[in-house]
Amino acid sequence: MKRRQTLITLTIAATAVAFILYVGLANWGGKTETLQASSIQLQELGSEQQVTVDFAEKPTVISLFTSWCTYCNEDAPKMAVLHEKYKDRLNLIGVNITNRDKLSEVRSYVERHNLSYPILLDRDGSVYSQYGGSGFPALYFVNTAGEVTDAIIGSTDLETLDGHFARLANAP
């Protein structure tokens, strides 16, 4: 009986190892899929003009947020600091998910956190959906080829954010 249990355990272990090796070898040297950034054309806060985000101009950080999100409020001062530090080397674009927010609250949020980068209004939530719609805050790091090179969903510390901004700003 004990020998049978040992044999079953070894068979299961061997199958698991074979599966792991198969998956690993199948992906060995394979290409990973690159996520292309979706085009963004939205109205800017305080303007009637539609703004089109040009990823080819400079690397771009897209920050999706709402004014009522606790973590967005925690990260907003960090975004202001990083914008000042990197504004000559990359674009930071705030995208408010306006269909889940109040415009008056968005204005208060921008003033309260002294944000000087462009804030675009996603009135129908389409940009949020295009980028996966998986939480707030959400940061997407886009190179000049329009490829999303990194993403952060949720709040994080300034040092980690600075590392992500620096990598994007210094990318070839």
* Residue range 108-167, pLDDT digits in tens: 999 999 999 999 999 999 999 998 888 899 999 999 999 999 999 999 999 999 999 999
Running DSSP on this structure, what letter comes out for residue 125?
A: S
18-42: buried (b, 16+ CB within 10 Å) or exposed (e) per residue? Answer: eeeeeeeeeeeeeeeeeeebbebeb
What the block records as the tokens of 6 is 């040992």
- CATH code: domain 35-170 is 3.40.30.10
CA 46 to chain centre: 25
Say if residue 63's pLDDT is above 60: yes
Q: Is the pTM of this model over 0.75?
A: yes
Q: What is the pLDDT of residue 165?
A: 98
Q: How confident is the model at residue 35 (pLDDT cuts 50, 70, 90)?
A: confident
Instruction: Write down the domain spans for the chain.
Output: 1-32, 35-170
